[in-house]
Amino acid sequence: MGYLNSYKKGKFITLEGIEGAGKTTQLAVVRRCLEEQGIAVLTTREPGGSPVGERIRTMLLDPGCKGMVAATEVLLLFAARAEHLAHKIRPALEQGTWVLCDRFTDATYAYQGGGRGVDPERIAMLEAYVQGSMRPDLTLLFDLPVASGLARVGKRSAPDRFESEAEGFFEGVRTRYLAIARSHPQRVRLIDAGLPVEQVSAQVRKQVAGFLARVGR
Ligand code: T5A
């Protein structure tokens, strides 16, 4: 089990939140904050992030896969995550590169647990199998009312399989995310994502600066 701690050379930061929370927009802000400190950064996303993972992502988001059962969804997400960890995340962290990931396992607890009603103990079993002791060092949770997030993404092209869900699904997702934040107050930092972009970025910069101070950078 020696590999479990070897990834610790770099830090692993994840961004979470419902659709339209602004994670992708703010990922660039986090990246800039770290690079200003001379830190090498790799940005990536889930589901996806590796060649096999991106193929699994296509299936997961495809509206043509409507009716996929929750167990299949969870297993595909962890299959993609195993590839992502093996081929991208762990090698980067082992080299001392910091990894910034747009969504990770908190999304599985929130979407498949809070949204689809999958037992969190089943998710925890797969988390232990696929990740061992690997967990993010910092998670920024972008929180905003569901209607505001959906209004933002509604301005884009055709909805994917998740975006086609009813508002009640996303209320379940948001509630579970907030519960995760309450259970892990050290790791998960809440960002008020309903504010204008510049004000969200200011909160992000503050949280990243706090984290850098905590880890002595
Ligand atoms: N999924 C994923 C699971 O169900 N389980 C899992 O375990 C994992 C890992 C991924 C889907 O997969 C699901 C969840 C997702 O449904 P995705 O396309 O990667 O799909 O979806 P999202 O990550 O949700 O990407 P979005 O683009 O929808 O949301 P973002 O990244 O949070 O938002 P962003 O930055 O793209 O912004 C959206 C729009 O809002 C504007 C932007 O300009 C953009 O137009 N915006 C703002 N507008 C006003 N004020 C602000 N502060 C704004 N910030 C951004």
Does the pTM of the predicted model rise above 0.85? yes
Q: Cα(130)–Cα(105) distance, rounded to whole angstroms? A: 11
Domain spanning 12-214: CATH 2.60.40.10 = no
The pLDDT, as a whole number, for residue 7 is: 53
Q: Is any ligand 1 atom within 6 A of the Cβ of residue 25?
A: yes
Q: Which of 18-27, 98-107, 121-130, 160-169 has the lowest mean pLDDT?
A: 160-169
Domain ranges of the chain: 12-214
Q: Rounded to the nearest 5 degrees, what angle is found at the Cα of 186, between the Cα atoms of 82 and 27?
A: 60
110: DSSP letter = I
What digits encode the pLDDT tens for the residues 184-214? 999 999 999 999 999 999 999 999 999 999 9
Q: Rounded to the nearest 5 degrees, what angle is found at the Cα of 10, between the Cα atoms of 49 and 92?
A: 35
Q: Is any ligand 1 atom within 6 A of the Cβ of residue 165?
A: no
How many Å lie between the centroid of ligand 1 and the Cα of residue 25?
9
How many Å lie between the centroid of ligand 1 and the Cα of residue 91?
26
pLDDT classification of 157: cutoffs 50, 70, 90: confident
Q: Is any ligand 1 atom within 6 A of the Cβ of residue 49?
A: no
